[in-house]
Structure formats: structure tokens, C-alpha cells
Amino acid sequence: MIASHDGRPPRKPPSPQAKALPSRQVTAMRRSLLRWFRKHARPLPWRESNDFYRVWLSEIMLQQTQVETAVPYFRRFIRAFPSLQALAEAPLEQVLEYWSGLGYYRRARHLHQAAQIIVAECGGQFPRDWASVRALPGVGDYTARAILSIADNQPYAVLDGNVARVMARLLALRGNIRRAHFRRTVERQAQALLSRRHPGEFNQAVMEIGQTLCRLREPRCPQCPLRRWCRARRLGQTEAFPEPAPRRPAVRRHLALAVIPQDGRVLVVKGLDEGLTPDLWNFPSAFGSSPQQALRALRRKIGSVTNARLPLSQPVAEFRHNITYRSIRARVYLAKAEVRPPTRRASQHDAAADAGPLTADARWLTLGQLRRAALGQMARKAIQCLRDSPGANFAQLHLHFG
């Protein structure tokens, strides 16, 4: 059995033996649901086989990402790392490159770490018992249930936001899904309705309904295989279930980013400011509570990274971006590296760094390297804005983000 990666004992599994509702209605409902799924399931790439590795990878990708967004990433990822062994042997940097653009990079780090644990402790065979799966980095209750039910037909009902919405409407359950008590109630109901013969298909069917029909607004009830039994529909109050969860208020932050080109290379550093996305390359950046404060912090940061004072332009582009609860207003500045003779201490990587020896978390990348690098979202957005910005004179700066 795999020990918990954070040192805590894994939580007890939900009881797969929870008693189903003794009703003929439940049997008819399950049949209708499964029939609908077999006919209407979208042909998603991870559904081509129920192999543990593919199911696990898809569930991790889908934790914070819409299905449509995840599909091309999944295809590319599976081509690059066709097996758990291949993923475990790959350098983390390469894994992050293939994750680049998908966001929430901790998922990729956990995936890589978990693959190495499985190879080291289970001979490369994905574990099949609840405690071991739940102990893997990045695997919570929902993901463990999804993996074990879909890949191994074990009778665990899943409960994510989509499933909770379907269940709350189907049974007209009132409450807020963020509250533990209500969550447990919905969990119990989902477990009771679960098909014991086809738990994986049942779970996927409910998820599919939540994603495609039972939408937050304007659910498509006439096409839903559960409509005959749906209490919220009968009450004419589909959108009243479940109660909307209160949102954490957004915190407004200002970010200053510097694009520093020199001789066809551009300066990047690991991580955004304030410890965000620590494994991804970004342009030097700094947060502040006002644009001026962010700019001052950026100047200090550039000084510490390049060991030089580089003059910054007026802002050449602006954009907005949200990261979790942060509502970010970003300004992009250009800087020209000062010419200095390269020092002996300069490594091969920073041989072009006339600005001076770089700190260990910074590099000069050619534009080809920049395109392939594991770049953070803010750097991607900055590049996109600069492409469209008349203020950035690329010919002069030898920068072409083609």
C-alpha cells in the first residue's frame, strides 16, 4: 500500500455498500441513464480505453479545466508520455512544457511525482485499492472515486459540482454544496442511486448530463433521460437547486511586467511574483497595490536579477487576467539591456546577457526556445498584447513573436 505523500493517514473510503433506495423507480432511472449514455456519450479521447493511466490523466486534467479545453492537451500529453513509465522517466521541465497553457500547474507536478511513486513502490502498476490511490499526490476523494469506478468498475459514486447539481435537482435537495452537511447528504444519495453493475458508466453518465444538459442556467430538460423523475423540473424550479455558493470577493492587484530583449533573446525568470506558478517561465514581474508601486517593485526585481539598472519604457500594452481570487491589471514595459562586456562568470546560457551575470532562476531564451518553453499565462498574454501593440517597435528590438 502507498503511504500518504503528506504524512497524514488517508481518509476512510466512502462505503460502497451504502444501501440503494428500494424503489422500482431507481432501477428504471438507472436503465434510462445508461441507455442514454451509451447512445449520446461524446467521443472523448480518454474514453477510447478504460486504462488506469488514461483515466487518471484525464481526471487530473479535468479537475480545473473544461472538457473542450482539455481535449487537445490530453492528445498531446499522451503522445509525448504514452505510458506511466514514460511520464515517470521524463524530466519535470518537459512535463510542464506539455502542460503549459492549461493552468494550475501544481496538477502537473503532482502527476509527475505520483508516476514516480507508482514506478518506485508498485512496479509501475497503478494501485487498485482505495487507500493507495487516495494517498497519491494530487488525488482527492473525487478523483479516487472517478479513477476506481471508471478504470476498475468499483462501486464508488463521484461527486463534483456537475454531479451535485444533477442530484440536487433530481431529488429537489435544498442547500449549499460548499457546506459539508449538505455535501454529505448529496453524496449519500448519489451512492444510493449508483448502478452496482456499471458504476463507471453511471458516474460518467451523470457527469455528462451535468456538463451538457443540466447546465447552471437554462437546463435542457426535454432532452434529459432523468426528466420523468426530476423533482425540480416538476416544481418548475430547476435553477433554484442547489443554492448558489457565496463567492470569495475578488482582490484587485496591479502587475508590472518587463520584456527585456537583447540580440534576438529575451529575459525570462522562473515564476510570477508572490510565489505564483513557481515552475513556469515568465517575464520579470512584480505586483503592487497601484501601477506605480508595481513599477517600483519591478525595477528592484530587474536590478536583482540582472545586476544592472535598465531603463523602462512607458507601458506599451495592458491587459487583465484573473488567477483564483486575484483580479489582475497588468502593464507591460519594454527595457533595453545595457551593453557590458560578458564576465568570465557568465555561463553559456547567459553569454548574451550583457546586462550582467543572471541569478540562477533567470535565463536568456531565443525566440525559438521561448515558443517551446513552459511559459506562464501572463507571459503568453503579454506576448499576445505586444503582437497587437503599435507601441512596441519589434524591428528595433530584434524581437519577433511570430
Exactly one of 84, 115, 139, 224 binds ligand SF4 (CB under 6 A); that residue is 224
The piece of 33-41, 115-123, 213-221, 345-353 that touches ligand SF4 (CB under 6 A) is 213-221
Query: How far is residue 151 CA from its own chain's centroid?
Result: 22
For residues 115 and 118, give the distance between their C-alpha atoms in angstroms, rounded to a whole number.
Answer: 5
The answer to whether residue 214 forms part of the interface with ligand SF4 (CB under 6 A) is yes
Cell of 364: 536568456
167 vs 385 by CB, closer to ligand SF4? 167
Exactly one of 213, 305, 334, 382 binds ligand SF4 (CB under 6 A); that residue is 213
DSSP letter at 339?
A: P
209 vs 353 by CB, closer to ligand SF4? 209
Rounded to a whole number of angstroms, the minimum distance from the CB of residue 41 to ligand SF4 is: 16
Exactly one of 80, 92, 221, 346 binds ligand SF4 (CB under 6 A); that residue is 221
Dihedral angle, C-alpha 87, 88, 93, 96, nearest 10 °: 50
- Which residues are known catalytic residues? 59
Total number of residues binding ligand SF4 (CB under 6 A)?
A: 15
Pairing of strands 326-334, 251-259: parallel
Q: Which residues, 230 to 259, sit near ligand SF4 by CB under 6 A?
A: 230, 232-233, 238
62 vs 226 by CB, closer to ligand SF4? 226
* Helices and strands in the chain, H and E counts: 16, 8
Rounded to a whole number of angstroms, the minimum distance from the CB of residue 32 to ligand SF4 is: 11
Rounded to a whole number of angstroms, the minimum distance from the CB of residue 224 to ligand SF4 is: 3
Q: Which residues, 181 to 210, sit near ligand SF4 by CB under 6 A?
A: none
For residues 210 and 375, give the distance between their C-alpha atoms in angstroms, rounded to a whole number.
Answer: 32
> Which long-range CB contacts under 8 A does 238-244 form with residues at least 24 apart?
238/169, 241/165, 241/168, 241/169, 241/172, 241/173, 241/174, 242/164, 242/165, 242/168, 242/169, 242/173, 242/174, 242/175, 242/176, 242/177, 242/182, 242/186, 243/174, 243/175, 243/176, 243/177, 244/176
120 vs 216 by CB, closer to ligand SF4? 216
Pairing of strands 251-259, 285-288: antiparallel
86 vs 216 by CB, closer to ligand SF4? 216
Contact present, 108 and 95 (Cβ < 8 Å): yes
Rounded to a whole number of angstroms, the minimum distance from the CB of residue 227 to ligand SF4 is: 4
Q: Which residues, 159 to 178, sit near ligand SF4 by CB under 6 A?
A: 166, 169-170
Rounded to a whole number of angstroms, the minimum distance from the CB of residue 150 to ligand SF4 is: 21
| Phi, psi (degrees; rounded to nearest 5) at 256 | -110, 130
Cell of 68: 473542450
Cell of 191: 451512492
The piece of 8-16, 26-34, 54-62, 215-223 that touches ligand SF4 (CB under 6 A) is 215-223
Rounded to a whole number of angstroms, the minimum distance from the CB of residue 239 to ligand SF4 is: 9
3-state SS assignment for residue 73: helix
219 vs 356 by CB, closer to ligand SF4? 219
User: Which chain residues interact with ligand SF4 by CB under 6 A?
Assistant: 166, 169-170, 213-214, 219-221, 224, 226-227, 230, 232-233, 238
